[in-house]
Amino acid sequence: MCGIIGLVSKKEVSSTLLEGLKRLEYRGYDSSGIATISNEKIERVRSKGNLSFLEEKLLNSSLPGNIGIGHTRWATHGSPEEKNAHPHITDKVAVVHNGIIENNNQLRNQLIEAGVEFSSDTDTEVVCHIITSYLNTGLSAYDSIRATMSDVRGTYAFGVLILNEPNKLFAVRGGSPLAIGSANNENFIGSDTYSLSAYSDNITYLKDGDVAEIENDSYRIFDHSNSLVEREKQSIIESITLSEKGIFKHFMLKEIHEQPEVIAKSLSNYIDMDNGVLNIPNLPHDLSTITNVTLVACGSSYYAGLIARDWFEKFTNIKVDVEIASEFRYREAPMASNGLTIFISQSGETADTLAALKHCKYLGQKTISIVNVGDSSMCRNSDASLKIYAGPEIGVASTKAFTCQLGVLACLAIKIGTSNGSLSEYQEKEYVKSLLSVPRLISNTLDKEDEIKNLAHDLSNITTTLYLGRGQMYPVAMEGALKLKEISYVHAEGYPAGEMKHGPIALLEKDLPVFIMSPSNNLYEKTVSNLNEVIARDASVILFTDKEGLDNIGLLKNKIKAFVLDKSDIISAPFIYTIPNQLIAYYIALLKGTDVDQPRNLAKSVTVE
């Protein structure tokens, strides 16, 4: 993913910015650049490829100035050429960006119609021109940035230089992490703790909607309502490693919060951001002739498969089976000769899933594995492999890997659908647009963290609970129950809401907590009937729905605890409704004092049968 560094100081900044970019290399990149303000001019040096090329250029044309921004770019919009490297500039503005601007094409076309000439293919240059256009109307630097945030939609962290504010560095957060690091007479901005840890002993993470005005000896942070706010200043953990927890208490919480950024990066490997269509590398199979699809996995990866089944069946018009690997491998199920079997695994080393892969290859199945670990056994033994690019997932409980699996599965389902004619190009673009909205929607859901933390506090003494859902919300419920079980050791069961009346309803008793997930979709009314069944037996319902869903239940909302999430669709709903369950599990486990990152009896990869 991209990396941002910025610095305002009393001394020259370019060499320190270059060192800061070196601390961002681990994030992966294909180009880099630095811009400074000096002698009333914006200066810039960029390079394709390794940072050493930028370093060489800087030796020949050092960048003067005591304020600057730097960037390592992981190409999303536009090829990894120098012209697309950040910072992007106009005569008045320089911008570095991490994230995805969803409405990039529309904004770019509007600017072109207004006479703007572009020198790159990036969404970031669009932002540069929009800020400039507001400055040209006479708005202040701050107001121009704030107005630009109202125009763009997506996930972003920006570092901004404004020529007419040569002593102020601007930092903007909207879904991608960005922090301020303070040192002696200089202030930094950076994408993560690691990039700032060499220069500052404390760190202040911005919140979504924040704009910071940063000078060398002070900074001010304004929230989304333009109110001056204080953000918590935290000490940087001494021993910083590449997979550091940074400001988080556990890797699991860090990985939950990484999801907007990591999913954006994961999707950028399979989506042509410029044209809003898929860009999946050629697979060795003629997907137009596939007649059967089987998804095989364990644990959370199995639940990802259950969620994806709706996408595969709807988008490809092919019947799909989803199998638990440890059952499937011994059942010796007959497999269609022209079938595709997809193996889902974060580690790529799960013994049962590997055994199922071997069985399927013996039966002549076409095989694709969806893995996080690129050189894993599953990757090597499948006909093809699609990486999920979630980065190292240290917490045993799967969070960002699970949601990245969903993203890649959705892309593959759309790909098969367009290959066999079940999906039109228009439908492909609509579903891709919805996928690209997921990072922002997850970021919005993470903003409810404090509310969910309070809920977890109220539930910290529970000994058993149920998670209910219909359609895709059923596997979402199962995954939510698994998260709670595996890190807090509380018994939890995920169940199809429609199945309660066939026995499990006997479990209901006063105050038993029941989590119910349902967007206001075609199954909502039926789910509300199940909700009534639960309330009628004095159990306590925690409902996750959207505004329309809450409005539709009228006075019933006074009898339940409800959380309103963003409006969603068949693509975005599973992502959004997974997030509260991750947070509930984490905060209940935290209150119970369990080992959240390394829960008892569990391994990150079950390489034994």
Separation CA 423–CA 415 (nearest Å): 9
**128 catalytic, yes or no?**
no
**340, 303, 309, 292: which is closest to 325 by C-alpha?**
303
**62, 102, 117, 95: which is closest to 436 by C-alpha?**
102
Separation CA 2–CA 86 (nearest Å): 10
Please tell me which residue in 2, 128, 360, 404 is annotated as part of the active site. Answer: 2
**358, 391, 399, 394: which is closest to 373 by C-alpha?**
391
Among 346, 422, 530, 545, binds ligand AGP (CB under 6 A): 346
Least separation in angstroms between CB 360 and ligand AGP: 15
Among 181, 299, 339, 519, binds ligand AGP (CB under 6 A): 299
Binding letters toward ligand AGP, positions 397-436, x by CB under 6 A:
xx--------------------------------------
Residues 564/451, Cβ–Cβ less than 8 Å = no
Least separation in angstroms between CB 494 and ligand AGP: 13
* Residue 301 in the binding site for ligand AGP (CB under 6 A): yes
Separation CA 401–CA 251 (nearest Å): 13
Least separation in angstroms between CB 469 and ligand AGP: 18
3 state DSSP class of 358: helix
**437, 445, 499: which is closest to 468 by C-alpha?**
499
* Residue 350 in the binding site for ligand AGP (CB under 6 A): yes
Binding letters toward ligand AGP, positions 469-498, x by CB under 6 A:
-----------------x------------
Give 225: exposed, middle or buried? Use CB within 10 Å, 0-12, 13-18, 19+: exposed
Binding letters toward ligand AGP, positions 431-470, x by CB under 6 A:
----------------------------------------
Residue number with the shortest CB distance to ligand AGP? 299
* Residue 523 in the binding site for ligand AGP (CB under 6 A): no
* Residue 396 in the binding site for ligand AGP (CB under 6 A): yes
**233 catalytic, yes or no?**
no
Among the residue ranges 42-50, 210-218, 297-305, 450-458, the one whose residues contact ligand AGP (CB under 6 A): 297-305
Among 298, 318, 553, 583, binds ligand AGP (CB under 6 A): 298
* Residue 353 in the binding site for ligand AGP (CB under 6 A): yes
Half-sphere exposure (Cβ direction) of 119: Cα atoms closer than 13 Å? 10
Among the residue ranges 181-189, 280-288, 340-348, 557-565, the one whose residues contact ligand AGP (CB under 6 A): 340-348
Residues 350/371, Cβ–Cβ less than 8 Å = no
Separation CA 399–CA 396 (nearest Å): 9
Beta carbon nearer to ligand AGP, 216 or 582: 582
3 state DSSP class of 212: strand
Beta carbon nearer to ligand AGP, 298 or 590: 298
Among the residue ranges 106-114, 184-192, 299-307, 575-583, the one whose residues contact ligand AGP (CB under 6 A): 299-307
Among the residue ranges 270-278, 309-317, 347-355, 447-455, the one whose residues contact ligand AGP (CB under 6 A): 347-355
> What values do phi and psi take at 143, rounded to 5?
-65, -35
* Residue 597 in the binding site for ligand AGP (CB under 6 A): no
3 state DSSP class of 89: strand
* Residue 258 in the binding site for ligand AGP (CB under 6 A): no
* Residue 183 in the binding site for ligand AGP (CB under 6 A): no
Give the Å distances, CA to CA, from 492 to 59, 331, 479, 534.
61, 28, 10, 16
Give 609: exposed, middle or buried? Use CB within 10 Å, 0-12, 13-18, 19+: exposed
* Residue 386 in the binding site for ligand AGP (CB under 6 A): no
Q: 457: how many CB neighbours lie within 10 A of its CB?
A: 12
Least separation in angstroms between CB 299 and ligand AGP: 2
- For ligand AGP, the binding residues (CB under 6 A) are 298-301, 345-347, 350, 353, 396-398, 486, 605-606
Catalytic residue numbers? 2, 604
